[in-house]
Chains A and B, each alone.
Chain A
Amino acid sequence: MNGLVLKDLGRRFGAVDAVKDVNIELQAGEFLSLLGPSGCGKTTTLRMIAGFLAPTSGSIILDGVEVSSPRGSLPPEKRGMSMIFQSYAIWPNMTVAQNVAFGLNLRKLDKAEIRRRTGEMLEAVRLNALADRYPSELSGGQQQRVALARALVIRPKLLLLDEPLSNLDASLREDMRFEIKRIHDEFRITSVYVTHDQSEAMVTSDRIAVINQGRVEQIDTPYEIYTKPRTRFVAGFIGRTNQITGRRGAQGVDFAGFTLPGAAFTGSEPDVFISVRPQSLHLSAEEPVTDNALKLKGTIAGRAFLGETWDYVFRSDAGLELRITARPHEVYALGAPVWARASSDQVVQIL
């Protein structure tokens, strides 16, 4: 079986579980992001995949071969992987071309082959004009591309990226997101990308694993993660949302001012949590006639015009506050009486 499997992977530091019971299966060619706040264990997971750190429980299986387990770890140099580091780790004592050719030299390919592949790769990252420069003469973005070229030129089984864009300034970061995406689409190398920036993860990834406190909260495509968050943490971490708490009752689940049919919800706990995105909610001056799942009467409690959208704070008569995003022409005055609604497929139950 080709690909990467993390099975019940865990790592303890002293009494602290930095990573616990992580289960991920990665198909060949897939681009997966490990997304989470700092200190959540995503970098620890990446370093275990790379072989810099041994797990204290579980195992890592690469192309059907177990490479890490508490009994021992294959050293990083035997794994056929590549990694892009947060600091780029471009060797300052070598030129751009020497940096890129390094991995090929270690594989003892013949000179002509090394030169050809190095040249091709430099072209792919648009650095051929700078081949003989030293890293200190390059800009941050150029160094980033050297790191990318150096990692890709050996055609790794797996490419690991550790917050590679966090040292770049904002506009460059945006360009590089698409650059990484473009290069992945070109070479289809299986990749694991660690980041705390959700938009980076959304742009680059086939799937995102949201990690919190050492555990995987959800693994899904960016679209699924956004529209169908499974937990309160995921709903809150990816994009803005309204989280509403309800209680199971005789007629269904009662929320502040509205009731939803009990059949729509799983589980048996008395409390039920839902997430509704601000742009899934709509405002109207008249009472909506359609049979909406969520329908509330209230007033505009606050508003800000952001150019592309309106950002409203809606307060229901029962006192529930909701953030609602509206298009620029939907203008409501502060304090105006309005109705808010959302269709049932936009209401997501979260755990």
Chain B
Amino acid sequence: MTVDTHPPASARTRRLTHFRPDQLAWLALALTLAVLIIAPLSMLVVKSFTDGTTGGFTLENYVTAYGRARHVQALWNTLVMGLASTVLAVLLAVPTAWACTRTNMPGRTFVRIALFGSFLMPPYLTGVGWILLAGPNAGFINQAWTALTGLEAPLVDIFTFSGLVLVMGLSTFFTIFILVSAAFELLSTEMEDAANILGAGVFRTAFKITLPMAMPTILGSALLTFLVSIALYGVPALISIPARYPVVVIQLAEFFSFPVRIEVAAAYSIPLLGITIGLLLLQRRVLGRKGYTAVGGKGGERRVTDLGAWKWAVFGYVMLVVLLAVAMPLLVLIMAAFSHSWVSGLSLENLTLEHFRYVLFEHSSSQRALITSVATGAAAATLAISLALSISYVVQRRLLPHAGVLAFLCMSPFVIPGIVLAIGFYAVYALPPVGLYGTYIILILAFTTRFLPIAYTTSTNGVRAINPEMEEAVRILGGGQFTAIRKVVAPLLKRTLASGWILIFVPAAQELSTAVFLVGPHTRVVSVVLLDMSEEGTFERLAALGSVLLLIIATIVLIGVKLLGRDFMLRRS
């Protein structure tokens, strides 16, 4: 056989050294990340020291921000609320996780699926559900109480500190549940058997062996939950004002109401940023390099513990969690969406589709908001996953020098609370000279930044799974780097691409914290419109619009499950 048909070998060898497209690519990626992350964050700090009228250096913003007892009180309140709701979340999540992974409690799969529903339900909808359930006058629980006992005084009141903590805990405990479940699943049964052999009973073993082994994960996920809850906007926006319990995010919103005092807001948001960065650094310090995997030990069989008659008690507790977190708020929300008046409860003459007709066909800002939410969510998901994939590819393949810097930047939004990110974006891009206030672009960019860490983690796992020799095989057979990406890398990353996209789309389409300061009159997203409706008290319309949003998200997730398998959304941590 003779040698023939290769691509021309005429190209001179020296060519590569002069032209360096890789430096351009690095610059482009670094620039994009600078626009998304560095600029908003540094502008936040700069603005906090800038005089709003003269533009000179000042400490006045800090004086204004912390000069009033009420403002300082809000900071303290935030920490107390965060701590209380985190404790509640742990109490809800850990026993449930243990029951679902380590015991023979009936209905374990059902519980997992139901709790996954709580993950899909945005916190502000859980909050609305609980207003309908436990509002002091017309809440269903209080209605039932009055009907049963004849007493007028309400049994429960959601507009209190404990109400705020309850809804907060119910909205955030899923993170702990999913991380701790994963840790419990890794534990070998032999560890428990060893305790049983020595005479420890089921619960003694759970408290002395199983729980301590999962402790690093429990603490780590509790920390995350704390950070999420102090920065969450939706629940306090619904409850903390009527409860007369001011918190930081509400105070920030006040600085943003007319006239907008962006400099003061920036100064006031610094503690939120500081606490987040500080606590995550501390956690790193404490856990060292072990991270969440302190559990260790994949060996040994895994078998569930027989709870005996106790399993019904445990089942009762877990069902209570499911009822409080998902079933009850969702049910009343759906009921309200189909009712003429939600207060009247369930009856045939109270049934109507009017509210769906109204939000879908009549109310132009609802229609627009649905389109905006889906479109900006989709755009942000696409942007974030493309950017993250390019960067993780470059990092994994060591295509560019200093790629580690890009990776670090990609992960850094993880430590920026959504509402703080929004203030940073507002500070750089909302006002002239850039003037993006009220555009879709500013929303899309902010969402992209917010969810970049999720995108990057997913992408890195995907790229890591591809052996570089797959691409080298393309190169040696005559294809360039781009042929390798097009013919081999891209097809192999399809799954990563799809699951990453959905992982970002779902929270992006529901995002409130980042959106609330960045939406203009024509770019309001569903979450913002829902919040307005709750202020107007039109809960039936709110419930209808909320149900439509949930339906859209559930459909997308179901498509994902169909295409990618059942556990694709849960594997990210």
Which A positions have Cβ atoms within 8 angstroms of B?
50-52, 62-63, 65-69, 71-83, 85-87, 89, 91-93, 102-103, 106-107, 109, 150-151, 154-157, 160, 187-189
Instruction: Count B interface residues, CB 8 Å.
Output: 32
Closest 4 CB pairs of A and B: A80-B6, A89-B469, A103-B477, A89-B473
Q: Chain A residues near B474: list those with CB within 8 A.
A: 77, 102
Which of chain B's residues has its CB closest to A103's CB? Answer: B477
B469/A85 in contact, CB under 8 A: yes
A85/B478 in contact, CB under 8 A: no
Which of chain A's residues has its CB closest to B477's CB? Answer: A103
Q: A79 touches which one: B4, B476, B483, B487 (CB < 8 A)?
A: B476
What separation, in Å, do the CA atoms of A85 and B8 have in the docked complex? 24
Which among A51, A66, A85 has the highest number of chain B CB atoms within 10 Å? A85
B467/A89 in contact, CB under 8 A: yes
A86/B469 in contact, CB under 8 A: yes
B14-22, B185-193, B280-288: which lies at the interface: B14-22
Q: A77 touches which one: B1, B4, B475, B488 (CB < 8 A)?
A: B475
Q: Chain B residues near A50: list those with CB within 8 A.
A: 472, 476
B7 within 8 A of A: yes
Q: A106 touches which one: B3, B469, B472, B477 (CB < 8 A)?
A: B477
Q: A187 touches which one: B1, B479, B483 (CB < 8 A)?
A: B1
What separation, in Å, do the CA atoms of A183 and B1 have in the docked complex? 12
What separation, in Å, do the CA atoms of A109 and B5 have in the docked complex? 9
A156/B17 in contact, CB under 8 A: no
B9 within 8 A of A: yes
What separation, in Å, do the CA atoms of A80 and B472 have in the docked complex? 13
B313 within 8 A of A: no
What separation, in Å, do the CA atoms of A318 and B483 have in the docked complex? 69
Contacts A83-B472, A106-B7 given: A75-B480 contact, CB under 8 Å? yes
**Hey, what's the 0/1 contact readout for B466-506 against A, CB within 8 Å counting as 1?**
01011011111111100100011001100000000000000
A79/B9 in contact, CB under 8 A: yes
A91/B470 in contact, CB under 8 A: yes
B391–chain A nearest beta-carbon distance, Å: 22
A106/B483 in contact, CB under 8 A: yes
Which among B3, B14, B479, B487 has the highest number of chain A CB atoms within 10 Å? B3
B9/A80 in contact, CB under 8 A: yes
B475/A75 in contact, CB under 8 A: yes
A257–chain B nearest beta-carbon distance, Å: 54
Contacts A85-B469, A93-B492 given: A77-B5 contact, CB under 8 Å? no
Contacts A77-B478, A80-B9 given: A85-B14 contact, CB under 8 Å? no
B315–chain A nearest beta-carbon distance, Å: 42
Q: Chain A residues near B4: list those with CB within 8 A.
A: 155
A50–chain B nearest beta-carbon distance, Å: 6
Contacts A71-B17, A93-B488 given: A65-B472 contact, CB under 8 Å? no
Besides the contacts A154-B478, A189-B1, what 17 more A-B pairs have beta carbons closer than 8 Å? Answer: A50-B476, A51-B476, A73-B16, A74-B11, A78-B7, A78-B8, A79-B6, A82-B477, A83-B473, A89-B473, A91-B473, A92-B492, A103-B477, A106-B483, A154-B477, A155-B4, A157-B3
Q: Chain A residues near B467: list those with CB within 8 A.
A: 87, 89
Which B positions have Cβ atoms within 8 angstroms of A?
1-9, 11, 13-17, 467, 469-470, 472-480, 483, 487-488, 491-492
What separation, in Å, do the CA atoms of A52 and B3 have in the docked complex? 22
A107/B492 in contact, CB under 8 A: no
Q: Chain A residues near B3: list those with CB within 8 A.
A: 80, 155-157
Q: A107 touches which one: B2, B7, B13, B475 (CB < 8 A)?
A: B7
A74/B13 in contact, CB under 8 A: yes
What separation, in Å, do the CA atoms of A71 and B13 have in the docked complex? 8
Q: Chain B residues near A69: list those with CB within 8 A.
A: 13
What separation, in Å, do the CA atoms of A76 and B5 have in the docked complex? 16
What separation, in Å, do the CA atoms of A150 and B16 have in the docked complex? 28
Contacts A74-B11, A155-B2 given: A52-B475 contact, CB under 8 Å? yes
What separation, in Å, do the CA atoms of A75 and B472 have in the docked complex? 11
What separation, in Å, do the CA atoms of A36 and B571 have in the docked complex? 43
A192–chain B nearest beta-carbon distance, Å: 12
B470/A77 in contact, CB under 8 A: no
Which of chain B's residues has its CB closest to A158's CB? Answer: B3
What separation, in Å, do the CA atoms of A103 and B2 have in the docked complex? 16
Q: Chain B residues near A63: list those with CB within 8 A.
A: 9
B476/A82 in contact, CB under 8 A: yes
Contacts A72-B13, A72-B15, A89-B467 given: A155-B5 contact, CB under 8 Å? yes
B479/A77 in contact, CB under 8 A: yes
What separation, in Å, do the CA atoms of A19 and B467 have in the docked complex? 25
B473/A72 in contact, CB under 8 A: no
Q: Chain A residues near B472: list those with CB within 8 A.
A: 50, 52, 76, 83, 85, 89
B484–chain A nearest beta-carbon distance, Å: 9
Q: Chain B residues near A154: list those with CB within 8 A.
A: 5-6, 477-478
Contacts A65-B9, A155-B2 given: A71-B14 contact, CB under 8 Å? yes
Q: Chain A residues near B11: list those with CB within 8 A.
A: 74, 78
What separation, in Å, do the CA atoms of A210 and B483 have in the docked complex? 36
What separation, in Å, do the CA atoms of A156 and B9 have in the docked complex? 12
What separation, in Å, do the CA atoms of A82 and B13 have in the docked complex? 19
Which of chain A's residues has its CB closest to B467's CB? Answer: A87
What separation, in Å, do the CA atoms of A251 and B299 have in the docked complex? 69
What separation, in Å, do the CA atoms of A102 and B9 have in the docked complex? 19
B6/A76 in contact, CB under 8 A: no
Which of chain B's residues has its CB closest to A60's CB? Answer: B13
Q: Chain B residues near A86: list those with CB within 8 A.
A: 469
A91/B475 in contact, CB under 8 A: no
Which among B467, B476, B491 has the highest number of chain A CB atoms within 10 Å? B476
What separation, in Å, do the CA atoms of A74 and B8 have in the docked complex? 11
B542–chain A nearest beta-carbon distance, Å: 46
What separation, in Å, do the CA atoms of A65 and B10 have in the docked complex? 9
Which of chain B's residues has its CB closest to A81's CB? Answer: B476
Q: Chain A residues near B2: list those with CB within 8 A.
A: 155
Q: Chain B residues near A150: list those with CB within 8 A.
A: 473, 477
Which among B1, B6, B470, B473 has the highest number of chain A CB atoms within 10 Å? B473
Q: Chain A residues near B492: list those with CB within 8 A.
A: 91-93
B469/A107 in contact, CB under 8 A: no
What separation, in Å, do the CA atoms of A63 and B6 have in the docked complex? 13
Q: Chain A residues near B479: list those with CB within 8 A.
A: 77, 102, 106
What separation, in Å, do the CA atoms of A77 and B478 have in the docked complex? 4
Contacts A72-B14, A77-B7 given: A160-B476 contact, CB under 8 Å? yes
B467–chain A nearest beta-carbon distance, Å: 5
